[in-house]
Amino acid sequence: MTRDEAKAILALPHEKAVTAILALAEKAEKYDQLLGEVSPTTPSGMIPTYLKPPPGRRRKRPGRKTGHEGVSRIQPEAVDHVKEHTLERCPQCHTPLKEPAKCYKRYIEDIPPVEKPEVTEHTVYGYWCPQCKKIVFAPVTDAFPTP
């Protein structure tokens, strides 16, 4: 609606002006319902997720094809230091823990400016916490956290 159209509606007699305004409000309401209360210029971050269309599905499965050999970094041949990480209490609830339920190993290679890198093997034990109902692992402060 332009400024001149708005002035023309206000210049009408009272009842006709009210009828015209109500008709315009009804058109605006229908337009909002058609667009789902989102205009084409609304940024994506401002649109609620329940009004957005669902994302497209992946076309291919991620990773290597079935039957192909996997690739990872080779395990070091020689280990210079061995450290074991154990827990006596749960880090979250401080419940006493029994024997480890799981174990995994991490290798950290410190590469100083000499020919031979220094390798440390960290054996990390996981314990079942009866209070938290999950396996908890001792933290390894010498390395980046595991995902």
List pLDDT tens digits, range 57-72. 878 887 888 888 878 8
pLDDT confidence of 36, banded at 50, 70, 90? low
Q: Could you tell me which residue, 26 or 141, shows the higher pLDDT?
A: 26
3-state secondary structure the chain: CCHHHHHHHHHCCHHHHHHHHHHHHHHHHHHHHHHCCCCCCCCHHHCCHHHCCCCCCCCCCCCCCCCCCCCCCCCCCCCCEEEEECCCECCCCCCECCCEEEEEEEEEEECCCCCCCEEEEEEEEEEEECCCCEEEECCCCCCCCCC
pLDDT at residue 38 greater than cutoff 70: no
The answer to which of 2-6, 82-86, 103-107, 141-145 has the lowest mean pLDDT is 141-145
pTM of the model: 0.38
